[in-house]
Amino acid sequence: MSVAAQPTVPDCALLVVGPLLAVHGLWTVLMARDRIRCKTSLARMTRVAELTQRALVRPLPADLGGLATAVRTRSASEGALVGGDLHDAVLLPSGPRLIVGDVAGHGLDAVRVSAAVLSAFRHAAATEPDLVRLAHILDDRVRDDLGDEDFVTLLLADFVPGAVRLVNCGHPPPLLVGRRLEVLESPCPSPPLGLSPTPSLQAVLLTPEQRMLLYTDGFTEARDAHGTLLALDRRVRAALGALTLDEALANLVGLVDRHAAAHDGDGHGDDLTLLLVQPTAGLLTGPVLPVPKNEDVPSAPQGNLGQS
């Protein structure tokens, strides 16, 4: 009677290791497949997020109904195209209407509120002729999206032949660029949206030789290593007096970054929106429309950009 051969030690090892190797190989394949699936899903979500953000910051045409425009935007949030800043424009029969705003705070909450303001503006701006009423409409429609301490600074601007009409709710005042820089402070300051705004109308004469800068506080609150704010001096005036609007904004962004780099490393400590406009000769230079009685007295023109 023969005795069955007993497996040797190497045979036993093979019996144990073989299945383990097979399991490990299967696990590796499954993990690789999961990684590919996750990367594909992440790429798809990233693309959707990018398209969504680009829908919020629609590019403005270089010429909007006789108003030449140039825009620079930058989010302080890493990987984000937009933050709490917002801007947009519509073309009315009377001329272009612009909005620039800034939501208090950063991150997704600021983006959410920014989207709500833009949605309300796009819904009402083309049908509401009165800027003051439009400001109240925007305040009513975004109130439910704001927390107890949230608010939105807002600047509305209607460009008509020979002038611009402004409504400012707690926003940094625009700059009029002519022979000198003029800060267009509102004679009747209003709180921001969400804080019971009291908007009023301000009218300013605007000629083809002048430019106007609308911006958010990422421009005026840029600080250097000593905490000093960027001064609205001859350097800003020179930057904004470049030959083209795009060159002017490129110069201004460079000035802001050089000023702030020593303070926060890369100069990107806050969201930044710069919107530079200039009426084109022959399109927005018709007879100046009469100023309604509830408007402030227009300021006088300041002359050519090229003069010192």
Token pair for 235? 């350097």
Contact 241, 308 (CB under 8 A): no
16, HSE (Cβ side, Cα atoms, 13 Å)? 7
pLDDT of residue 92: 92
**CA–CA separation, 247 vs 284, rounded Å?**
23
Same domain, 140 and 28: no
pLDDT of residue 81: 54
Same domain, 29 and 136: no
Residue 181 within any structural domain of the chain: yes
Element at 103 (helix H, strand E): strand 95-103
pLDDT of residue 80: 52
Number of domains in the chain: 2
pLDDT of residue 47: 41
Q: Which of 216, 207, 224, 217 is nearest to 279 (CA)?
A: 207
| Range(s) of the domain holding residue 25 | 9-56
SS3 166: strand
pLDDT of residue 237: 95
**CA–CA separation, 183 vs 190, rounded Å?**
16
Q: Could you give the dihedral angle defined by the CA atoms of residues 211, 97, 185 and 152, in that order, rounded to the nearest 10 degrees? A: -130
Number of H helices, E strands in the chain: 6, 11
**CA–CA separation, 125 vs 98, rounded Å?**
9
Same domain, 33 and 66: no
Same domain, 89 and 179: yes
Contact 237, 293 (CB under 8 A): no
Taking only Cα atoms into account, the Rg of the chain, rounded to an integer number of angstroms, comes to 28
pLDDT, averaged per 10 consecutive residues of the chain (308 residues), comes to 56 58 66 66 43 62 94 72 83 94 83 91 95 97 88 96 95 95 96 96 94 94 84 94 97 91 57 93 56 45 41
